[in-house]
Amino acid sequence: MDIMDTIKQQITDNAVILYMKGSPDAPQCGFSQKASQAVMACGKRFAFVDVLTNPDIRANLPKYANWPTFPQLWAGGELVGGCDIIMEMSENGELKKTIEAAVPDEA
C-alpha cells in the first residue's frame, strides 16, 4: 500500500487520531506532550501515531495535510490543527465538542 493510502486509511479508520512525536504516555517533545494531554482530558479514546518511529508518515503527512508541523490532530476525517490550535480549542471548550462529535458514544 502506498504511504499516502496508509495515511488516508488511518484517518478514515480512526474517529480521532493524533500524529505526534512519541506516545501519549511518553511524549518526545513539549508540543506533543501538551497536545496529547489536551486530547486525553476530553475523556474519549483516540488513536495516535508516533512519527519518530514512522519516518515515511513523518515525511509524507505534511504533504497530505498541507500542514508542516507535528503534532497534528484529526477528528472525523478533518484536520483540526497543531499544538497552538489544539490548546486554544481546549481552553475555550471547542476541543471537547469536536472530539465528542467525532467519537460515537461507547456502549
Per-residue model confidence as pLDDT tens digits over 32-46: 999 999 999 999 999
Q: Does 42 appear as a known binding residue?
A: no
Exposed, middle or buried by CB within 10 Å (0-12, 13-18, 19+), for 8?
middle
Determine phi and psi for 34, rounding to 5 degrees. -60, -45
Say whether the peptide bond before residue 104 is cis (omega within 30 degrees of 0).
Answer: no
Mean pLDDT of 69-89: 98
Predicted TM-score (pTM) of this structure = 0.95
Q: How many residues does the chain have?
A: 107
Residue 45 counted as an annotated binding residue: no
Task: Give the pLDDT of residue 106.
Answer: 59
Ordered domains of the chain (ranges, CATH): 3-102 (3.40.30.10)
Average pLDDT on 67-84 reads 97
pLDDT category, 70, cuts 50, 70, 90? very high
Amino acid 88 reads E
46 annotated as belonging to a binding site for a ligand: no
59 burial level (CB within 10 Å; 0-12, 13-18, 19+): exposed
Tell me: is residue 83 an annotated ligand-binding position.
Answer: yes
Look over the chain and give the mean of its residue pLDDT values, rounded to a whole number. 96
